[in-house]
Structure 1
Amino acid sequence: MDRVTSLPQEKKLSTSKSARAISLATLIKVLEDGSYSNISLNNSFKNSNLSVADQNLATRIVYGTIQYRLFLEYQLKGLIRTKLTERYINPLLLMSLYQIIFLNKVPNRAVLDEANKLAKQFGRHHSSGYRIVNGILRSFIRRGVILPKENNKLEYLSVKESVPEWLVKYFVKNLGIERTQSILTSINKPAKNCVRISSLVNATEVFQRLKDEGYQPKWSNLSDHDVTLKHGGIGQSDLFKKGQLTIQDEAASLVVEAFDFDKTQVEHVLDACSAPGGKTVQIAENLADGDVIALDIHEKKLRLVAENAKRMHVADKIKTQACDARKAGKIFNKGEFTKILVDAPCSGLGLLRRKPEIRYTKSLQDLHSLQKIQLAILDSVSVPLQKNGELVYSTCSISMEENEEVVKKFLQRHSQFVLKPFKLSKLESKTGMLKIMPDQNGNDGFFIAKFKMRG
């Protein structure tokens, strides 16, 4: 589809603070400019007076439209008969289609009415864009949803579940068609609202507070210290602000559990890729005596680590340092650390439910490129780990290239390391590797491997 991406004559993005105007402004930034959805949406909310209900509506429209982008674009086939010369039109069409198809409580006439208002609001002076939008949406309502023929399974699943065909093919090749269908269906379900209760507080009392405040908490099936909530908003609560809990997916919190912390000894731990600091804080909570050095390549991101550490009351045990983890072996002394965590930069394929734009921005080549970075980090951090020390490697990806293949290649390069079985509060790995799939329990996909350096 040939679209003009920017026109100087267009109006500036609307200053209206309605939920749908903010949704459209955010989607223009994400779909047309390549901005991150969470950052753009959060910035929009800061400058608005939207009620919680309207924020929830805007969030659902934005994330739903991004999540189903490929499916929604397919619905426009045969309906566009003119060049779309204003860049707001495509995002407006997609978010309107999302509401018509997926938000059953919103009448079609209300979606059309709002689309017309937004087209006039965001369009150029004397623009006929609202007529184009209105005509296309009415044509869709008359025609209905379309899908490719089911005999082309890859294309059918790609459009139906709104996942690029290369990724569908990749999953089918590695997991089979039935598991692929299960995963693709699961990643289009809403992400859980999860929190991890600090190990420094009384978990039973915090759980009761969550009940009293209407969050309808449930203990996690994966971990003893994680709780799922019925709805969001916990980031504005006193429990969060006072550091009694933090927002963290239950699968992500399993990573630090893989370590065997020794409360009788001084522990020096390196978190090689620490930002935004959720796992750094969790490590610090487990130290009776010792400290954590938190690295990140970006100085700016380390401020998030420091802020999280302060809020969670472990700032005295955490030191931040801007550093490329691939240089850790040259910066730190040999045998300096008792434990090292590498929560490596990855494709994020385990987060497709929570970060829907990932499905459209990653490629098969990325998996191979990231593997090189991951191995370089592991090679480097293997130097400052002491003998009999523990090295935990994790990713929020479910690809073979970033996980099992990385482990295999690392062990081939470093014969002094072996995989070490580990037990978590509710799970265990007898092989030293554990992969959590996104269709298992509605959680994020994660991979954990634990190495021990021979004495």
Structure 2
Amino acid sequence: MVKVVSLSQVKKLSIDKSARAVSLETLIKVLDQGSYSNISLNNSLKHSNLSIADQNLATNIVYGTIQYRLFLEYQLKGLVRTKLTEKYIKPLLLMSLYQLIFLDKVPDRAVLDEANKLAKQYGKRHSAGFRLVNGILRSFTRRGVILPAENNPVKYLSVKESVPEWLVQYLIDNWGLDKAKSVLNSINEPAKNSVRISKLADKEQVFAQLERDNYQPQWSKLSSDDVILSHGGISESDLFEEGKLTIQDEAASLVVEAFDFEQDEHVLDACSAPGGKTVQIAESIVNGDVTALDIHDKKLRLVRDNAQRMHVANKVKTKARDARKATEIFAAGEFTKILVDAPCSGLGLLRRKPEIRYTKRQQDLQNLQKIQLAILTAVSSLLKKNGELVYSTCSISMEENEEVVKKFLQAHPDFELVPFKLTKLESKTGMLKIMPDLDGNDGFFIAKFKLRG
């Protein structure tokens, strides 16, 4: 049986209707029109008058419904006997099922009453939607949750953990059934609230302030600069506005740690936006600069804003260019170090970005590998002799990681993998993969190359 999630933020149900209306409007845009969930939800919340508690409820409903979409659709099996013609009906059914199954602080009668009200509000004149929604939800409350037979592990895990069958099979093929179960179970756990303290700030003082502000901070088990907070809202704090910390996952923070920085550095961050790692590099170098490269100038504004807030703008340059065409604007051997945090499938971020599981296909992994290799090939010529090149992705796939490394080395024999030590981890092979079931972190891959002198 799936895990039941508590919604501790729900204190009152007096204005749940507005929260659920926002949820439904957002889900219609996401599920019917293909909009991005974060953008649609933020816009909806911005134009609402919801309390913090009801904003939390709407956020929970939207992301929970998307996260468990496949599982929730399976619950409609045997209950829907007609075509759902009105675009609001399926999103309303799914979000109502999510509340009935997962939000144990919300009474079933409240979910059903609000679903009926929304069906009347959104339905066409003389619509049968109200009776349809009411009948399906009441039938579900009598029947309960259903799952496929466990003797078909791919189908069973696909529905139970709400992940496409191709991805379940992929995990089993590469890591075995037990590891696949562990990874799939972990990605449906809540994402941690992780922040990285600036290297320019006093870590102990920042930590103490977080304690005073009741964030109940805990030091990361992976990164010496990261702290796990008990709740969100840090972007509204003085510590954030003053540039003493930034929002960054522990695994992502490890990428820059792989470099061995010296006194005078000229670094290229080839795929920079939104600039978290660019800023981290700038904090780490004593002399020199880091050039942030991104294909979109609009995204580079985010890099500049981040650098300004974190007090490293004087070390950051930006250039708008496709990294595959970097040789058009930079000279051979110009940089002492290069970071390629490559565009990828994001399969390591399924906990944080639930819609990825429904939008990616296995063929995407091969297509992305071509782009990743093209970027590595282009920027590798810009590295100085004995310079370091770090390649990273927020994916766990073999195609985007180990296979990319293998093919790059085959085509560039003057490069070699080199071992690297992080504060709390090390890689003796020159490659490090962090799986999503490691203490609730994002999945990440890091490889470190050196250009022979």
Give the TM-score normalised by structure 1: 0.95
Shift of 1:51: 2.0
Partner of 2:421: 423
1:357 to 355, 358, 361: 355
Q: CA RMSD in A?
A: 1.1
The answer to whether structure 1 residue 159 and structure 2 residue 171 are counterparts is no
The answer to whether structure 1 residue 81 and structure 2 residue 72 are counterparts is no
- In the alignment, the residues of structure 2 paired with residue 315 and residue 49 of structure 1 have an alpha-carbon distance, to the nearest angstrom, of 37
- In the alignment, the residues of structure 1 paired with residue 51 and residue 194 of structure 2 have an alpha-carbon distance, to the nearest angstrom, of 23
- In the alignment, the residues of structure 2 paired with residue 125 and residue 300 of structure 1 have an alpha-carbon distance, to the nearest angstrom, of 44
Partner of 2:234: 234
Q: How many residues in Structure 1 have an aligned counterpart in Structure 2?
A: 438
Indicate conservation of the 8 Å contact 2:194/2:229, yes or no: yes
- In the alignment, the residues of structure 1 paired with residue 448 and residue 211 of structure 2 have an alpha-carbon distance, to the nearest angstrom, of 36
Shift of 1:330: 3.0
Deviations 1:188-242 (A, max 9, x none): 1000000000110001011111111111000000010000000111111111111
Partner of 2:108: 108
The aligned amino acid for 1:152 is: N
Q: After the TM superposition, which of the residue ranges 114-123 and 175-184 deviates more from structure 2?
A: 114-123
1:297 to 275, 295, 307: 295
The aligned amino acid for 1:45 is: L
Sequence identity (%):
77
Partner of 2:170: 170
The answer to whether structure 1 residue 268 and structure 2 residue 291 are counterparts is no
Q: Secondary structure at the match of 1:148?
A: coil
The aligned amino acid for 1:108 is: D
Indicate conservation of the 8 Å contact 2:17/2:114, yes or no: no
Shift of 1:17: 8.5
Give the TM-score normalised by structure 2: 0.95
Partner of 1:60: 60
Shift of 1:247: 0.5
The aligned amino acid for 2:197 is: I
Q: After the TM superposition, which of the residue ranges 185-194 and 235-244 deviates more from structure 2?
A: 235-244
- In the alignment, the residues of structure 1 paired with residue 91 and residue 290 of structure 2 have an alpha-carbon distance, to the nearest angstrom, of 45
Q: Secondary structure at the match of 2:251?
A: coil
Deviations 1:327-377 (A, max 9, x none): 112321000001100000000000000000000000110000000000000
Indicate conservation of the 8 Å contact 1:194/1:228, yes or no: yes
Q: After the TM superposition, which of the residue ranges 210-219 and 24-33 deviates more from structure 2?
A: 24-33
Deviations 1:106-157 (A, max 9, x none): 1110000111121222222343312211111001111111111111111011
Deviations 1:147-199 (A, max 9, x none): 11111111011001110000000000000000000000000100000000011
Indicate conservation of the 8 Å contact 1:309/1:318, yes or no: yes
The aligned amino acid for 1:372 is: K
2:377 to 367, 376, 379: 379
Q: After the TM superposition, which of the residue ranges 403-412 and 125-134 deviates more from structure 2?
A: 125-134
1:436 to 428, 434, 451: 434
Partner of 1:311: 309
- In the alignment, the residues of structure 2 paired with residue 52 and residue 269 of structure 1 have an alpha-carbon distance, to the nearest angstrom, of 42
- In the alignment, the residues of structure 2 paired with residue 307 and residue 93 of structure 1 have an alpha-carbon distance, to the nearest angstrom, of 41
1:370 to 363, 368, 375: 368
- In the alignment, the residues of structure 2 paired with residue 225 and residue 366 of structure 1 have an alpha-carbon distance, to the nearest angstrom, of 34
Q: Secondary structure at the match of 1:251?
A: helix
> 5+ unaligned residues in a row in structure 1: which ranges?
1-15
Q: Secondary structure at the match of 1:42?
A: helix
1:401 to 399, 402, 413: 399
Partner of 1:13: none
Indicate conservation of the 8 Å contact 2:268/2:339, yes or no: yes
- In the alignment, the residues of structure 2 paired with residue 330 and residue 407 of structure 1 have an alpha-carbon distance, to the nearest angstrom, of 24
Partner of 2:71: 71
- In the alignment, the residues of structure 1 paired with residue 85 and residue 326 of structure 2 have an alpha-carbon distance, to the nearest angstrom, of 50
